[in-house]
Structure 1
């Protein structure tokens, strides 16, 4: 297991991170809500072996970046990631995010289109997608529904709906159990706040979209194909995987990421 031995003190929280170092293309992985950096250890090992500089971190309030120090919000998470990139002096990193991490990475690219070399989203909603009234209603009802689940049951239920493999479910339960229910609900509300429809927006850097075949979280299974068509790319569907595809099927996701990274130096297609 990777130990996050380095830290960046920021607004009451010691953000913990691991930087593999080296001269390769930097890649920053941002985990999902309630999870931590452990979900990306298979990707770190594989990509570092390929010569890339890999950065893992725990968002404030998650994993070893506790206590949170301040309320978790979409704006605070965005500022934290930007501060980490600046702190490490990363030269146009590739941003990779799963679920909440995917929403966060999208937000950073949208705010600073000059900052990132490319964007890889795994099992996350499309931040700027148009939302139907049904989707708006479901989003509004999600937090109150989660609040009704007893705290002792929440990690197990979240793990079971997020993964298909027993090993991934076990690790998800471990991670979810570290975050008190009150803080998890704050994180969930922050995730929703990243969704800001902008139908004319297109990602200004090379984009890779990955989702698990059995991902039933939110509207990801329906919206990601639409997102891919809007961007003029093909989505990558990982057979047999759930919401946490990078842990359910690490070799398939590693292969997809590696293939995409070979293309990021090519000019983005114009439309």
Structure 2
């Protein structure tokens, strides 16, 4: 698809729009589908907004304006050349800027994401709590309190960046289901995103969990072994959080079991305000 000028919309059937937002020279690609309360979904590292295709129409029919986007260094968005332009802070600010365009300055929304996108959703809440009506935290973790654990995670993130530097975009061909749908233009951007966005600087997000004052749904695939304990931890630390374990699903519950995943999200959205709990589908 050809690049579009900032804020020039393509109007498609069913209240769908695809556009770009220029933020300080970085062009961010995003789509909106449906009408109603905004609901933004953020993809995982080295994936793109394409990973949400199985959820867009379902959630739009629930009366939400579904927003999906490509993080900087991914998909149709820009791939800045400067390492300093890839960070948690930039990502949170990108989300806020898109939501300002979609719903107006300071507008509130439902915020969700998978893997890195789930972590960034928690980071967004930490910075903009008044803007979040509810959280959808999928197949992710909240970071680390332990410095050694964080350093080990960051070592892996930096190694991922080095692999993209060495092997280029061919590396994406052997990745997981949520990444198999992704199309990227620049391996250098993915490498810098690994070092600047996937790597974590502190424990601010994990330490903020007990202060979350919004309804939260924690979803994890039953076979997503690395994130089962993290999901249980978040469900216990976030006041009133609900947790759903999706059977026979790995690190992309929305793709591995879309019907079960969609049912869980719809049930949560329809029951906002009720008491938390844990469900196993």
Q: Common fold, TM-score beyond 0.5? A: yes
1:27 paired with 2:33, answer no
Q: Alignment partner of 1:237: what SS?
A: strand
Question: 2:34 touches 2:60 (CA, 8 Å); kept in 1?
Answer: no
Distance of aligned partners of 1:156 and 1:25 in 2 relative to their CA distance in 1, 3 Å threshold:
same
- Counterpart CA distance in 2 for 1:262 and 1:174 is 29
Question: 1:143 touches 1:185 (CA, 8 Å); kept in 2?
Answer: no
Q: Which consecutive aligned stretches of 4+ in structure 1 deviate over 6 angstroms post-superposition?
A: none
Q: Alignment partner of 1:124: what SS?
A: coil
Structure 2 stretches of 5 or more lacking a match?
1-11
Instruction: Report how many aligned residue pairs link the two structures.
Output: 253
Identify which of 111, 118, 131 aligns with 1:95: 111
* Superposed counterparts of 1:231-246, under 5 Å: 231=238, 232-246=240-254
Identify which of 151, 161, 164 aligns with 2:167: 151
* Superposed counterparts of 1:57-96, under 5 Å: 57-68=69-80, 71-89=85-103, 91-96=107-112
Distance of aligned partners of 1:108 and 1:98 in 2 relative to their CA distance in 1, 3 Å threshold:
same
Distance of aligned partners of 1:201 and 1:233 in 2 relative to their CA distance in 1, 3 Å threshold:
closer
1:121 paired with 2:137, answer yes
- Counterpart CA distance in 2 for 1:247 and 1:143 is 24
Question: 2:209 touches 2:234 (CA, 8 Å); kept in 1?
Answer: no
- Counterpart CA distance in 1 for 2:17 and 2:33 is 11
- Counterpart CA distance in 1 for 2:275 and 2:219 is 21
Q: Alignment partner of 1:59: what SS?
A: coil
Question: 1:98 touches 1:123 (CA, 8 Å); kept in 2?
Answer: yes
Higher RCO by CA contacts (8 Å cutoff, separation 6 or greater): 1
Q: Alignment partner of 1:62: what SS?
A: coil
Structure 1 stretches of 5 or more lacking a match?
163-168
- Counterpart CA distance in 2 for 1:124 and 1:254 is 17
Quote the RMSD (CA, aligned, Å).
Answer: 2.8
Identify which of 192, 212, 221 aligns with 1:212: 221
- CA distances 1:138-188 after superposition (whole Å, capped 9, x unpaired): 21321343255451552134x2xx3xxxxxx3x62352x615443223222
Structure 1 length-normalised TM:
0.82
Question: 1:123 touches 1:244 (CA, 8 Å); kept in 2?
Answer: yes
Q: CA deviation at 1:130?
A: 2.5
1:188 paired with 2:197, answer no
